[in-house]
Amino acid sequence: MITHMQHGDGTPFSDSALNKALEEQILRDNTRNSTRIRLEEAIKNRIHSVIPEEISYLLRIVILQEKLPKFDRLQDSINGMGISVHDTWATHITLKSLQINNSHYRAIIHYNVQDHFGLDSDDILKTQFKQFQLFRLWFVLQRYTEFGFKPFMTNMEASIEISGKLT
């Protein structure tokens, strides 16, 4: 990502390692407000009482109430994801497929996540960033026209499968 930033053209960046990190973050998030867990619960417990035209509405309501994938865990401070991605700006979650056979279901959920690699004014005003000279320098490097290190969008995606027995 640093090399990409040094090119200074601001074009979007994607990498299979980032996609894998997103997939692992989604699969390992076992907190109560995980989108994966909440989607699984909605499908498992409520999908049988919803007409097909209302499925996307049900899932949208579930997603809007939960925490979207972010890299703000303690381990992300150590593994590099906290500095390379940390928070995310946009998340698009799509139900790619849903199969219901008798009392079992199988769904493929696709996550498309974007972040900007760079520090904006809101970031640099947060204590966690402004207290360290590295982040203050990074903020200036992005904006000093002689260097031309432009912020860019980081694109990540992952598809996960959830399956089980309807209740």
Over 123-164, what HEC string results? Answer: HHHCHHHHCCHHHHHHHHHHHCCCCCCCCEEEEEEEEEEEEE
Give the separation between CA 142 and CA 145, rounded to whole angstroms: 8
**Interval 89-104: pLDDT, tens:** 888 898 899 888 888 9
Q: Is the pLDDT of residue 17 over 80?
A: yes
Mean pLDDT of 155-161: 96
- Residues 87, 92: Cα–Cα separation, whole Å: 15
Residue 128 lies in a domain: no
CA Rg value for the chain:
19
126 in Cβ contact with 132 (< 8 Å): no
Task: Print the domain residue range for 49.
Answer: 12-114+153-165
Q: How many domains does the chain have?
A: 1
Q: Is residue 143 part of a domain?
A: no
The DSSP call for residue 112 is E
Residue 127, in any domain of the structure? no
Cut 0.85: pTM above it: no
Q: Does residue 58 form part of some domain?
A: yes
Q: What is the dihedral angle through the alpha carbons of 36, 89, 142, 72, rounded to the nearest 10 degrees?
A: -40
CB 4 within 8 A of CB 149: no
Higher pLDDT pick, 159 / 118: 159
Residue 76 within a domain: yes
DSSP for residue 165? E
In this prediction, residue 113 carries a pLDDT of 92
Residue 110 tokens, joined = 């696709």
Does 104 fall in a domain?
Answer: yes
The verdict on residue 136 lying in a domain is no
